[in-house]
Homo-oligomer: A and B are copies of this chain.
Amino acid sequence: MTRRQTSGVLPCGAPAGLRERRKQRTREALLHAALDLFAAQGYERTTVDEIVEAVEVSQRTFFRYFANKEAVAFAVQESVETRFLTELRRRPAAEPPFEAMRRAALHAWDSMAEAAEGDVTGELQARTYRMIESTPALLAAHLRRSVDLEFQVSQVIAEREGLDPEADPRPRVAVAAFSGVMRLAGQLWGRRQDAGVDALRQLTEHHLDHLGPALSGNWRAA
């Protein structure tokens, strides 16, 4: 019961005991080997056996570090989400909710590239994101994860605005609409060749700007 797990998120310094460090190394080795193999030959065509062979551990060990094959692909994504949530909680209370989400998202994208988490380069991150978008099984998992995130975000928004998230539908509606648009931006980004973080930033802003107008009546008048 005295498990002081490394909190799911990627490493953050703090060199602990020898055992702990060894674990960290194994985990990173698995993550790295997996992402490399995925990038080289695709997610579906990479077997867990290949990954564990590269790291020279047993298959059983792989499944002790990652709940399933999918989980490896989302290790990085997870840290981006954490950054988003952290930034969202930090936004000034005076900021309207939609604006706060927008800024938090842009902040998360920006910080993604700079901090090469667990020795994973920004380039590899981008490639992983594109792989997720283009692999049906991963896309499905990605969307399911988004649902969980949306729930947390709507809780934060409700709290910011001092509302009861159960009773008032606005936080959830706003988050649903927002994340719908965010996903669209990510999707389009994935199809590009010039897949820098800048392009993603731009796409995000561009599409969020169209949300308000898109809801109102006659587009032909615009």
Contact = CB atoms under 8 A, between A and B. Distances in A.
A216 interface: yes
Size band of the interface chain A makes with B: 35 or more
A170 interface: yes
Nearest to A97: B219
B210 A212 contact: no
Contacts of A218: 96
Nearest to A222: B170
Interface string A172-189: 111011111101100100
One complex includes copies of this chain to the number of: 2
A42 interface: no
A181 to B, nearest CB: 5
Contacts of A96: 217-219
B169 A177 contact: no
A97 B220 CA distance: 11
A144 to B, nearest CB: 4
Chief secondary structure at chain A's binding surface = helix
A179 B96 CA distance: 23
Given A143-B140, A147-B139, A207-B173, A219 B180 contact: no
A161 interface: yes
A14 interface: no
A213 interface: yes
Contacts of A136: 144
Contacts of A1: none
A150 to B, nearest CB: 8
A70 to B, nearest CB: 9
A131 to B, nearest CB: 15
Contacts of A40: none
Contacts of A170: 210, 213-214, 219
Given A96-B219, A212-B215, 7 more contacts: A96-B218, A139-B144, A161-B220, A169-B207, A173-B210, A176-B177, A176-B181
Interface of A: 96-98, 136, 139-141, 143-144, 146-147, 161-163, 169-170, 172-174, 176-181, 183-184, 187, 206-207, 210-220
